[in-house]
Structure 1
Amino acid sequence: MNGPNTMYRMRPIIKLTEELELPKCMYRMKNIQQAYLNNRLEHQLSNETRPTSISEQVKKFLKCPLPEMTALENRQEAILAQLADLKNQITALRGQLKQSAAPPAVKETNISRSRTCNILQNGVIHDIVINASPKYPPYSLVALRRLWGDSLKLGVRCHIHSSVLQLPTNLENFLSVISDDCDQERSSLLNITLVWKDVGPDTELVVSPMKHITIKGEVNILRYLSRLGPPRYNYELSNDPAVSSRLDSLLDTCYSLARCRTVKERQSLIHSLNCCLGKSQFMAGGDGISIADIAVWSVFRQIKVEPLQDLSGAMKNWLQHCSQSLKLDS
């Protein structure tokens, strides 16, 4: 015999030709055998699709989206949606207000004018310390005090540093003019303490005594004070950039003229100033004294251009006119 053989084959006793209708009970039990078969089938399918090598597992891991990246993308989409909504609201408001797409240009001069005029509007008292050498008196302070007048009262007090033994006699006129009013300091909004100190031609304005920050050069101090003073004397507020640039160049020339070491260099700079004045009445070309006139007038008095052989006829008339206008004899 090669294998098991059935001796008898039984015939089915009952033949089910039709599907039986099961009774509808209140509670119906699950088919235990069918659930077991389904679990085995799912397990076999999972084993077939599971990667067998490490490289396949890495590829599958890289293809899976990270939750952090998904959250970041969702956040970005939400922000973009908010920006789009905000843009639509602004467009709707612009249409209601009947405004153009381009906002109206705001003049920078108005902004600068409001910032510059704070010292006059707020009434805040400013105290400034200036160190100057008796050999290079800051005549520009006298000129500013005369020029500003009651529009911005300027008070000046003088002190002598230990590095200066005695003031020269040629400063008597300067001191009498700059401190002629004892009550000026009480009502002034800008108080300057002038310390006579051996600092050479580099007049210093102490901005921060704690940090030892100084502004050197009389023309640079003039730039600083012009921003604090009345707006009409601040050349930086001019609507014409060419005028502001020209005045800046004149101030730089005065800065170099006060530090000349040779006669030839001084004559060259004075000739440049003669050309700038030309046939005009003032250095800025207007009808009144400007910061440039004050700077040139002060440096001429410091270097003592006498007997004025280097000055043109127009420059001599200009110098005399400035001295008379500022009420300080040359």
Structure 2
Amino acid sequence: MYHVKPYYESGGKVDFPNIMYAVRHYHEPSPSNVQGHDFSSLDPVSALEARQESILARLGQLQQTLTRLKAQYAVTTTTTVTAAPPQKQAASASFSVRQTSIAALKSPLASSSGIHDMVINADPNAPPLSLFVLFEMLKQRYSVLATSYVHSSVSDVNPRLTEMVVCGSQTARGNHQVALSLVWKKVENGPELMVSPAKQSVITGEVNIARYINRLISPGFDTTDIVKATTADEWLDMADLQLINGNSKQRNATTKSLNTKLKKSDWVVGDEFSLVDAVLFSALAQSDQISSAPENVQKWMKRCTALPVFASVMTLL
């Protein structure tokens, strides 16, 4: 085999560069003290127990600090960890974890003590009508602060659009539960929703944004009736993939399916108006299917527009 010259001779002095940070060798024994406590005089078992007591004491201090900050900033936590000091004869630690209840997970507002911010970007050439309907429904459940803006990327925006999502400016921001900002601008793949820039990616598409807002309005939508929720998701996917983003053949097929569905019921899913009706109505309007819609769909649209939550939408049609 090839002969390789040793990097340094055995027993020789190695000169390390002095331009880098010095790091302790991983094979050296660990220090005999932790946080100023010297355990070198103790036997191995006692030293291990003493180290554990020191660590648990530090954990207790951290917990006290977190508890104080929680009370100071009124933060609701989802998990509580409690550390108990070990007995002298046997080192042990007990931890109790309180799991978040299912009810607290149903709505993003359930675990939030501050205002819930939402920013939606939408194209004025394709206004998301379902969001206007859901906005009216959102106001019935929460105190909402809503404002509209026009981005420099668009011009000649219908003045009515800037008035669709506006309310709550008469009172201070802190007195509201939800803050909704609607920005009219050029967007490539449909409306965009951003809730927390540090924790999420953009939610894209009118249907997906409608799903999010609907879970604020009806936190138990997914758990109360699984079959109904699954049927709703199926129709929402059809609205997105075949009506809004599909070709003419797919749009006609979906409209026919909707017409057949409405022969037996007044509403698409369940016995009352829901998120699905609002999204399908908007999808039909954006795909220019309203004027040519079959009889049952026409009757269904009249029932929709007769509802108070459609009052603002009617000003655009």
Map Cα deviations across residues 88-130 of structure 1 (whole Å, 9 max, x no partner).
xxxxxxxxxxxxxxxxxxxxxx954432246268653111111
Number of the residue aligned with 1:251: 236
Q: If each structure's helix is expressed as a fraction of its own residues, which one has the higher value?
A: 1
Q: How far off its partner does 1:300 sit?
A: 2.2
2:130 is equivalent to residue 140 of structure 1:
yes
Number of the residue aligned with 2:117: 127
Q: Structure 1 vs Structure 2: percent identity of aligned residues?
A: 28
**Aligned counterparts of 1:320 and 1:197: Cα–Cα separation in 2:** 31
Q: How far off its partner does 1:212 sit?
A: 7.4
2:209 is equivalent to residue 221 of structure 1:
yes
The answer to whether the 8 A contact 1:153-1:184 is kept is no
Number of the residue aligned with 2:304: 322
Number of the residue aligned with 1:270: 255
Secondary structure in 1 matching 2:145 = strand
Give TM-score, length-normalised by structure 1: 0.56
Q: Which has the larger radius of gyration?
A: 1
The alpha-carbon distance between structure 1 residues 175 and 275, as it changes in their structure 2 partners (threshold 3 A), is: farther
Unpaired segments ≥5 residues, structure 1 = 1-109
Number of the residue aligned with 2:153: 163
**Aligned counterparts of 2:250 and 2:108: Cα–Cα separation in 1:** 41
Number of the residue aligned with 1:237: 223
Secondary structure in 2 matching 1:141 = helix
The one of 164, 179, 201 equivalent to 1:177 is: 164
**Aligned counterparts of 1:112 and 1:184: Cα–Cα separation in 2:** 33
Secondary structure in 2 matching 1:150 = helix
The one of 274, 294, 315 equivalent to 2:278 is: 294
Map Cα deviations across residues 259-310 of structure 1 (whole Å, 9 max, x no partner).
12x3222211222222333331111121x22111111122223233342x2x
Unpaired segments ≥5 residues, structure 2 = 1-99
The answer to whether the 8 A contact 2:259-2:295 is kept is no
The alpha-carbon distance between structure 1 residues 112 and 135, as it changes in their structure 2 partners (threshold 3 A), is: farther
Moved runs in structure 1, 4+ residues, more than 4 A? 120-123
Q: How far off its partner does 1:181 sit?
A: 5.5
Moved more, 184-193 or 313-322: 184-193
The alpha-carbon distance between structure 1 residues 207 and 181, as it changes in their structure 2 partners (threshold 3 A), is: closer
**Aligned counterparts of 1:185 and 1:279: Cα–Cα separation in 2:** 48
Number of the residue aligned with 1:80: none
Letter in 2 for 1:206: M
The answer to whether the 8 A contact 2:207-2:236 is kept is yes
Secondary structure in 2 matching 1:119 = coil
Letter in 1 for 2:213: L
The alpha-carbon distance between structure 1 residues 274 and 208, as it changes in their structure 2 partners (threshold 3 A), is: same
Number of the residue aligned with 1:305: 289
Q: How far off its partner does 1:156 sit?
A: 2.3
**Aligned counterparts of 1:304 and 1:156: Cα–Cα separation in 2:** 29
The alpha-carbon distance between structure 1 residues 142 and 123, as it changes in their structure 2 partners (threshold 3 A), is: farther
| 1:75-154 to 2 correspondences below 5 Å | 111-117=101-107, 119=109, 123-154=113-144
The answer to whether the 8 A contact 1:113-1:237 is kept is no
Q: How far off its partner does 1:318 sit?
A: 1.5
**Aligned counterparts of 2:299 and 2:232: Cα–Cα separation in 1:** 20
Number of the residue aligned with 2:177: 189
Q: How many residues align?
A: 211
2:185 is equivalent to residue 205 of structure 1:
no
**Aligned counterparts of 2:286 and 2:171: Cα–Cα separation in 1:** 26
Secondary structure in 2 matching 1:267 = helix
The alpha-carbon distance between structure 1 residues 184 and 304, as it changes in their structure 2 partners (threshold 3 A), is: farther
Q: What do you get for the CA RMSD once the two structures are aligned?
A: 2.7
Q: How far off its partner does 1:144 sit?
A: 1.4
Give TM-score, length-normalised by structure 2: 0.59
The answer to whether the 8 A contact 1:208-1:214 is kept is no
Map Cα deviations across residues 10-59 of structure 1 (whole Å, 9 max, x no partner).
xxxxxxxxxxxxxxxxxxxxxxxxxxxxxxxxxxxxxxxxxxxxxxxxxx
